[in-house]
Structure 1
Amino acid sequence: MARIIVVGSGVAGLAAAARMATGANDVTLIERNGSPGGSLIWATPDTLTLPAVLRDLFVKTGGRKASAAGKLEEVVDLRPIDPVRTYRFPDGSSLDLPNAARGASKDAFDAAFGHGAGDAWLRVVDHGNRAWSAVRPTLVEVPDAGRRDLWRLFSSSAARRALAPRRTLRQIGEAAGVRDPRMMRVLDEYAQAAGAAPETAPSVIAIRPYIEQTFGAWRIVGGLPELATALYERCLKRGVSFRFDTEVTSIAAGSVTLADGERLSADVIVAAVDAHVLARLTGTVKGSKAAPADYSPSILSIRLESRNATETTPATETTERAYETVLFGEGDEQPTIRLRVAPERPNEWIAYADVALSMTSQDAEELKSAIAKRLGIAAESLTVREVFTPGDRERLTSTPGGSLHGPAISSLNSAILRSPTVQPIKGLLHVGPSARPGPGIAFAALSAWNAAEVLKPTRV
């Protein structure tokens, strides 16, 4: 029987524990906080793509009996989102992005940005298709893939064109025919949502809109805390042992050491933590901070209550808002604001903005005012009910600066050759947003699949 210790209970940690807990493995998950879920327990952007990854996770970890609730849809209420999101621009124009509908997307871009814009957008999506087809079987779903495999991939001229290592996402857009600055801001938003600066985002990020528009965008009713609960309960059914309020202070080959000095032995250790945290735990780096330029920004998240529609505004103001709205500001000096409104809770709004670590709860009122101004409603109709700052996220996850996506993506290597699943330390595996294949719920779950594949000989 293999003794496995998983450190961290975010999506990747829970998914890895559930996959590895079999009759041949004894799995213990250690979490420094008092409950599972990591940053999922608060308002994290929660639009899901590649639902097949989560579906596979729950099917493969479910019981053989029909009553064992093996399917994803049996443990959470998963629904498609349409439109995927609404983009609102400073000039008053907007774009409603359809869900997984190529023809409808073409028509939507043409209507928003003029004839030809739809074809240009589809060319960007097609570039993402080629890039995904190149990296998925050779780098994404190969646990021990590395630079050598990337260079081997470059021996194909078709793969080199698909990955375009010297081109940025903006350059791909320009080559595809993106001319309207508003349309380029939509492309930039995909870069920022992946943890990349629009000016340097590599062309491979075109994979993101391709995946979203090909496999669809989904949401879980109740938000990501519902997914965290479902994963936790699946782990319990698989026999995973949990140790909460327990902090790991160091990791070595075959053991972890806890804050109270206790040393636990293991055949395999799965680190579901940030890459910089992992380096600190293994002694690769000293200290607890990373250079700000090395990491993607954090976000300021606020929970707002919208006054009852009958009191101040027409009913459509609160009951017909898109699930996700992106509010672009004027120029670079005003941040982009992302607003989420679930149809079953139309008076509860969750807002996010990329910010620095120094932002505090006092900045929530300014963010609220900016939202009201961009939507053309009275600021008094919104009340701040809860705030989650970058500092809160850093304390919860230990990720430097409270970064949402981990190490910044600024090149092809930093996008697809993140921290490898198989680490140099014997028996140590790495999963999560800063590991391969990258940030996002689906990719974090996919990293857990990669880790489980490494242990395939020990599974039953």
Structure 2
Amino acid sequence: MARVVVVGAGMGGLSAAARLAALGHAVTVLEQAPEVGGKLGRYARDGFVFDTGPSLLTLPAVYRDLFLTTGDALETVLDLVPVDPTAHYRFPDGTEVDVPNASRSGVARAFDEALGAGAGAQWTSFLQRAGRIWDLTREPFLESPLDGWRTLAGLARSWDAVRTVAPWRSLRGLGEQHLRDPRLRMFLDRYATYTGSDPRRAPAALATVPYVEQVFGSWYVRGGLRLLGDAVRDRAVERGARVEAGVEVVEVLVEGGRAAGVRLADGRTVPADVVVSGVDAAQLYGGLVRAPSAARSLRRATPSLSGVVLLLALRGRTPGLAHHTVLFPDDYDAEFDAVFGRRGPQRPVDDPTVYVSAPDDPALRPDDDHEAWFVLVNAPRHAPGAGVDWDAEGLADAYADRVLAAMARRGLDVRGRLLWREVRTPADLERATRSPGGSIYGTSSNGARGAFLRPANRSPVPGLFLVGGSSHPGGGLPLVGLSAAIVADLVGPA
């Protein structure tokens, strides 16, 4: 039995804790915030309840495996329901389309009906290519520890495999190869933001993101996605893990060349045979432990985008409102230019894509005559002096007004129904989660080398491992869960 300290109780840390405790290790989880869950947050006020992080679960097999591996099935503790349609999309020309859940033929029909005959065939052709990429990359790139360029070298033995994955091509470039309709290309571009990236620079391999969503479905936890975090925490505790909140780790201790525990802000030390870091890799390598090579690699990577969030308490109900609504702008490239500082410095997006999550869930509203909306727009990181200072006086409220006005221009005006709003900026996200600049996914996947610059699960310090969205294989609930499974395999049974 090893003594394991998990630093950070986000979904990566909690999932790793549950798996390692089930393997027989003595696990202690230390979280600096008052509550566990990390970016899988929740806000409640006046009977309105909001998930403040992920709003849907894709690839649920990751968490089904976690629960089966550690005890009872996921469905014994949570009510997992499909989201259908997955989302309602509105394009700049006024075209609207509901994308059905887990039905490739249904998606093709929806595109044909909304965009014109032949659009469905274009998307089907693209999705077939994405499926081949998924088959080739799933095991070596998502379910196994990253082994640098050697991981890619395994694919290089087959020219057909290399040609399929096309590591030299961007997601935008792959879309242009298969999709003639500009609205389909816009639809595809949005999936780059699932990893905090720019579709013009993100690799073509991200085609697997819409493939996974449309093949394995989109799911929601009745009562809110936050309940998934609570359930994983409970499973970890049931298997014997100890979880402490409000405890700040200030140093990973290294003795004899390997991780030996952690030092807390109050001066106490917690000895360990294994340390699992669930904090942002930039925080880990920037101050908690000395690992010069890992720190240099991080500095070469492009940080992921962040976001501005509006939590809206609304009176009345919206006829025909989908669980998710996406309102595209006239100029999508201008959005990515602003967020990543191209054609000028990083700046708030003038006319952003607006993403609305509004589950029809009685548990999230005071009564049936009200709605709780989570609204997200992409934004550059908080970077006072070097980019956008989201703490600048008046900026947050002024930008929230701009977002509400953009929604109104695109046919979703809720300003007359607004009871109150809560605005959260990248600066707020940084304070809440210690994610530098409020980057949602750590580093982006921008550039051909982006995936290989993402910190590996096994650190350069023996006995120190990384989980969570800033480490391999990336951000989002499924990949975070996979990082925990990888680390549990690396540590092994007691």
**TM-score under structure 1 length normalisation:** 0.91
* Matched-pair contact (CA < 8 Å) for 2:107–2:120: yes
1:226 aligns with 2:232: no
Structure-to-structure mapping, 1:91-102, within 5 angstroms: 91-102=93-104
Q: One-letter code of the match for 1:45?
A: P
**d(CA) in 2 for partners of 1:386, 1:19:** 36
Which of 82, 85, 95 is the matching residue for 2:84? 82
* Matched-pair contact (CA < 8 Å) for 2:3–2:272: yes
Aligned to 1:413: 449
Secondary structure at 1:242 match in 2: strand
Which of 153, 156, 172 is the matching residue for 2:155? 153
Aligned to 2:347: none
Secondary structure at 1:230 match in 2: helix
Aligned to 1:45: 54
Aligned to 2:327: 327
* Matched-pair contact (CA < 8 Å) for 2:3–2:26: yes
Aligned to 1:183: 184
**d(CA) in 1 for partners of 2:96, 2:142:** 35
Secondary structure at 2:40 match in 1: helix
Secondary structure at 1:76 match in 2: coil
Q: 1:21 Cα shift?
A: 0.5
**d(CA) in 2 for partners of 1:334, 1:293:** 27
Q: One-letter code of the match for 1:434?
A: S
Structure-to-structure mapping, 1:304-323, within 5 angstroms: 304-309=312-317, 318-323=318-323
1:245 aligns with 2:253: no
Structure-to-structure mapping, 1:28-427, within 5 angstroms: 28-42=28-42, 43-62=52-71, 70-143=72-145, 145-176=147-178, 178-251=179-252, 252=254, 253-280=259-286, 281-284=288-291, 294-309=302-317, 318-331=318-331, 332=334, 333-344=350-361, 345=365, 347-356=371-380, 357=382, 358-359=389-390, 361-362=396-397, 363-377=399-413, 379-415=415-451, 418-427=454-463
**d(CA) in 2 for partners of 1:75, 1:155:** 44
Q: 1:376 Cα shift?
A: 4.5
Secondary structure at 1:161 match in 2: helix
Q: 1:416 Cα shift?
A: 6.1
Q: One-letter code of the match for 1:149?
A: T
* Matched-pair contact (CA < 8 Å) for 1:364–1:384: no
Q: Is there any run of 5+ residues in structure 1 with no aligned partner, and where?
A: 63-69, 310-317
Secondary structure at 1:294 match in 2: coil
**d(CA) in 2 for partners of 1:150, 1:208:** 19
Aligned to 1:456: 492
Aligned to 1:315: none
Q: Could you tell which deviates more after superposition, 376-385 or 183-192?
A: 376-385
Q: 1:182 Cα shift?
A: 1.7
- What is the number of residues matched between the two proteins? 440
Secondary structure at 2:410 match in 1: helix
Q: One-letter code of the match for 2:2?
A: A
Secondary structure at 2:351 match in 1: coil
Cα distance change of structure 1 residues 19 and 206 upon mapping to structure 2, 3 Å threshold: same
Q: One-letter code of the match for 1:348?
A: A
* Matched-pair contact (CA < 8 Å) for 2:54–2:477: no
Identity percentage of aligned residues:
40
Secondary structure at 1:193 match in 2: helix
Q: 1:89 Cα shift?
A: 1.4
**d(CA) in 2 for partners of 1:319, 1:236:** 43
Secondary structure at 1:254 match in 2: strand
RMSD: 2.1
Aligned to 1:314: none
Q: One-letter code of the match for 1:114?
A: G
**d(CA) in 2 for partners of 1:61, 1:264:** 25
Q: Which string of whole-angstrom CA distances, capped at 9 and with x for unpartnered residues, describes residues 89-135 of structure 1? A: 12211121111111111111122222221111112212221112112
**d(CA) in 1 for partners of 2:265, 2:282:** 18
